[in-house]
């Protein structure tokens, strides 16, 4: 409740409250061609993935990408800017079904991809805005719990609360249940999109960048 940026606490709550939603996410992935491929291959966002994103960044900077910002470049820049290491993500502790455990792992490891796609910063408010979009896409109770707890515990200023509920929530509903396909966040093989133009990937996925708000 005190800090939605605490990955370990967020991970634990997500696992113990999310079995039903994870089952729905699993069915959604199985019903999608790319989703099924992800479940078979079980890619992980690890050092190898980060290295590939960095290679895509170098290629883009050298002009191979035609001057456009690629998804891999944006992701690599995001990690470097915030000093994030994907290996720091918490491992699964409370899910014993291997398929559900992988779906939760995939969701958790792709979180920084979602930041890049939505252009939401890893601040308390940014995390909560992203959680609302994830709620619309996944149905995981964690998202609703995070947003509600932050409001109750007084983490947000009055202005931030206004932004969360009057700006980010309508955006999350519009994008998560409108322009994006159901389970669309989970059915993208992100590791194969590092060379893709970031705006092109957003357009294909139906993602509208989150509103830029001055606080």
The pLDDT tens digits for 130-173 are 999 999 999 988 777 877 777 777 788 999 999 999 999 999 99
- Report the distance separating Cα 172 and Cα 120, nearest Å: 12
Highest mean pLDDT among 2-6, 48-52, 65-69, 100-104 belongs to: 100-104
The average pLDDT across 86-115 equals 88
Q: Which of 112, 125, 129 is nearest to 74 (CA)?
A: 112
Q: Which of 186, 183, 178, 184 is nearest to 204 (CA)?
A: 184
Both tokens of 44, joined, read: 């992980």
Q: Packing angle between helix 98-109 and helix 111-118, nearest 10 degrees?
A: 40
What spatial distance separates the first Cα and last Cα of the chain, rounded to whole Å? 22
Contacts of 93 by beta carbon, 8 Å cutoff, 6+ apart: 11, 12, 15
Both tokens of 149, joined, read: 């707890």
Q: pLDDT confidence of 94, banded at 50, 70, 90?
A: confident
Average pLDDT across the chain, whole number? 87
Q: With contact defined as beta carbons under 8 Å apart, do 46 and 87 qualify?
A: yes
100 CA to centre of own chain: 17
Q: pLDDT confidence of 15, banded at 50, 70, 90?
A: low
49 CA to centre of own chain: 16
Q: Bridge partners of 197?
A: 70
- Report the distance separating Cα 175 and Cα 186, nearest Å: 15
Question: What pLDDT does residue 41 have?
Answer: 97
């Amino acid at each position: 409740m005190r800090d939605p940026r605490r990955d370990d606490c967020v991970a634990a709550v997500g696992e113990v409250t999310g079995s039903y939603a994870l089952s729905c996410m699993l069915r959604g992935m199985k019903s999608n061609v790319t989703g099924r491929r992800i479940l078979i291959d079980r890619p992980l966002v690890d050092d190898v993935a980060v290295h590939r994103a960095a290679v895509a960044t170098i290629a883009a900077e050298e002009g191979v990408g035609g001057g456009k910002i690629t998804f891999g470049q944006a992701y690599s820049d995001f990690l470097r800017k915030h000093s994030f290491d994907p290996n720091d993500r918490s491992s699964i502790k409370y899910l014993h079904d291997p398929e559900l455990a992988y779906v939760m792992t995939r969701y958790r490891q792709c979180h920084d991809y979602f930041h890049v796609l939505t252009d939401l910063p890893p601040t308390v408010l940014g995390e909560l805005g992203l959680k609302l979009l994830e709620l619309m896409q996944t149905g995981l109770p964690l998202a609703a719990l995070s947003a509600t707890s932050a409001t109750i515990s007084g983490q947000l200023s009055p202005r931030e609360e206004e932004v969360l509920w009057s700006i980010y929530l309508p955006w999350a509903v519009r994008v998560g249940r409108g322009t994006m396909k159901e389970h669309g966040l989970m059915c993208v093989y992100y590791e194969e999109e590092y060379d893709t133009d970031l705006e092109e990937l957003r357009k294909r996925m139906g993602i509208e960048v989150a509103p830029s708000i001055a606080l």
